[in-house]
Structure 1
Amino acid sequence: MNKRRVVITGLGVVAPNGTSVSDFNNNIQKGKSGIHYIEKLKELNFSCQIAGKPLYKESYLNNYFNNIQLKGLNASGMEYGVIAGMDAWKDAGLSINNSQTPLWDTGVIFGTGILGVDKFREAIYKVDEGKVRRLGSTSVTQTMASGISAFLGGMLGCGNIVTTNSSACSTGTEAILMAYNHIAQGNAEIILAGSTSDSGPYVWGGFDAMRILPYKYNDNPTKASRPMSATASGFVPGSGAGALVIESLESAQKRGATIYAEILGGHVNSGGQRNGGSMTAPNSQAVQYCIRKAITNANINSNDIDAINGHLTATTMDSIEIQNWSEALGRKGKDFPYINSLKSLVGHCLAASGSIESVAAVLQLKEGYVFGNINSEDLHPAIEALIPRDQIPLKTINKPLTIIAKASFGFGDVNACVIFKKY
Structure 2
Amino acid sequence: MKRVVITGVGALTPIGETKEAYWNALQNGTSGADKITRFDTTKFKTDFACELKNYDPANHFDRKEIRRLDRFSQYGLVAAEEAIQDANLQFNKLNKNRSGVIFSSGIGGFETFEKETLNYAVNDFNPRFSPFFITKIIANGIAGQLSIKYGLRGVNYAPVTACASSTNGIIQAFNYIKWGKADLIITGGSEAPITETSIGGFNTMKALSTNNENYASASRPFDKSRDGFVVGEGAGALVIESLESALRRDAHIYAEIVGGGESSDAHHIVGTHPNGEGAYLAMSQAIEEAGISSSDIDHINAHATSTGPGDLSEIRAIERVMEENINRVHISAPKSMTGHLLGAAGAVEAIATCLALESNIIPPTINTEEIDEQIPKTIDLTLKEKKQKDIRLALSNSFGFGGHCAAIIMKKYEK
**TM-score interval (norm. to shorter):** over 0.9
Q: What SS does the aligned partner of 1:384 have?
A: coil
The 3 A distance-change label for structure 1 pair 124 and 212 is closer
**CA contact 2:184–2:239 (8 Å) conserved in 1:** yes
> 1: distance between equivalents of 2:197 and 2:269?
24
**Residue 77 (structure 2) pairs with residue 79 (structure 1):** no
CA deviations on 1:55-89 (whole Å, 9 max, x unpaired) are 2242x5443x344322354x221111111111111
Q: State the partner residue of 1:68.
A: 64
SS in structure 1 opposite 2:271?
coil
Contact 2:261/2:408 (CA < 8 Å) preserved in 1?
Answer: yes
- Summarize deviations over 1:331-389 as a string: whole Å, max 9, x none: 35533x1000001001111111111111111111111101111111211112134x34x
The farther-off stretch of 374-383 and 400-409 is 374-383
* Cα distance between partner residues in 2 of 1:169 and 1:333: 25
Q: What is aligned with 1:17?
A: 15
Q: 1:239 to 1:331 in 2, by over 3 A?
A: farther
Percent pairwise identity: 33
For residues 92-107 of structure 1, the aligned pairs below 5 Å read: 92-96=87-91, 103-107=96-100
1:206 to 201, 204, 213: 201
TM-score scaled by structure 1?
A: 0.91
Name stretches of at least 5 consecutive residues in structure 1 with no aligned partner: none
Letter of the 2:399 partner, please give it.
F
Partner of 1:361: 353
Q: Please list, as runs of the form range in 1=range in 2, the aligned pairs for 1:229-240 lying within 5 A after superposition.
A: 229-240=223-234
Counterparts of 1:159 and 1:33, CA distance in 2: 40
1:371, 1:393 within 8 Å by CA — same for their partners in 2? Answer: no
SS of residue in 1 equivalent to 2:260:
strand
AA partner of residue 116 (structure 1): G
> Unaligned stretches of 5+ in structure 2?
none
- Taking a change above 3 Å as real, the CA distance of residues 125 and 381 of structure 1, as seen in their structure-2 partners, is closer
Matched to 1:108, the amino acid is: V
SS of aligned partner of 1:289:
helix
Task: Tell me the residue number matched to 2:320.
Answer: 327
2:286 alignment counterpart: 294
2:162 pairs with 168, 173, 185, which one?
Answer: 168
C-alpha displacement at 1:393, in angstroms? 3.3
Partner of 2:386: 396
CA distance in 1, matches of 2:118, 2:280: 46
CA–CA distance in 1 between the matches of 2:319 and 2:386?
23
2:25 is matched with 27
* In 1, Cα distance between equivalents of 2:86 and 2:398: 25
Query: Contact (CA 8 Å) 2:363, 2:382: kept in 1 or not?
Result: no
C-alpha displacement at 1:96, in angstroms?
4.9
Quick one: which amino acid aligns to residue 68 of structure 1? K
Measured in 2, the distance between the counterparts of 1:124 and 1:39 equals 22
Residue 103 of structure 1 and its aligned partner are, at CA, apart by 1.2
Counterpart check, 1:182 vs 2:176: yes
Distance 1:44 1:377 in 2: 30
1:139 CA drift (Å): 1.9
Picking from 367, 390, 393, the partner of 1:375 is 367
Distance in 1 between residues matched to 2:82 and 2:326, nearest whole Å: 40
How far residue 102 of structure 1 moved from its aligned partner, in angstroms, is 8.1
Instruction: Give the Cα separation in 1 of the matches to 2:244 and 2:163.
Output: 32
> In 2, Cα distance between the equivalents of 1:71 and 1:334?
51
Deviation at 1:170, TM superposition (A): 0.7
Corresponding residue number in structure 1 for 2:252? 258
Alpha-carbon distance in 1 for matches of 2:383, 2:390: 15
What is the TM-score with the length of structure 2 in the denominator? 0.93
**CA RMSD between the two structures:** 2.0
More displaced, 187-196 or 200-209?
Answer: 200-209
**Is the Cα–Cα contact under 8 Å of residues 196 and 351 in structure 1 kept in the other structure?**
yes
The aligned runs of 1:259-274 (5 Å cut-off) are 259-273=253-267
Question: SS at 1:43's partner residue?
Answer: coil
The reply on whether 1:341 has 2:337 as its aligned counterpart is no
- Look up the SS of the partner of 1:56 in the other structure: coil
Q: 1:11 and 1:61, CA in 2 relative to 1: closer, same or farther beyond 3 A?
A: farther
Deviation at 1:138, TM superposition (A): 2.2
What's the secondary structure of 1:213's corresponding residue? Answer: coil
Q: Is the 8 A contact 1:282 1:414 kept in 2?
A: no
Matched, 1:141 2:132: no
1:281 aligned partner:
272
1:419 and 1:172 map into 2 onto residues whose CA distance is: 14
Q: Which shifted more, 313-322 or 86-95?
A: 313-322
Q: 1:50 aligns with which of 48, 54, 72?
A: 48
The 1:215/1:152 distance shift into structure 2, 3 A limit, reads: same
CA distance in 1, matches of 2:40, 2:64: 34
Q: What secondary structure is seen at the aligned counterpart in 1 of 2:115?
A: helix
Q: How far apart, in 2, do the equivalents of 1:203 and 1:14 lie? A: 20
Shift of 1:414: 1.0
Secondary structure in 2 matching 1:71: helix
Alignment of 1:114 with 2:107, yes or no, is yes
* CA deviations over 1:152-182 (Å, ceiling 9, x no partner): 2112211101111100111111110000000
Q: Which amino acid in the other structure matches residue 99 of structure 2?
A: T
Label 1:393 to 1:285 Cα distance change in 2 as closer, same or farther (>3 A): same
CA contact (8 A) 1:76 1:199 kept: no
Asked whether the 8 Å contact 1:37–1:219 carries over to 2, the reply is no
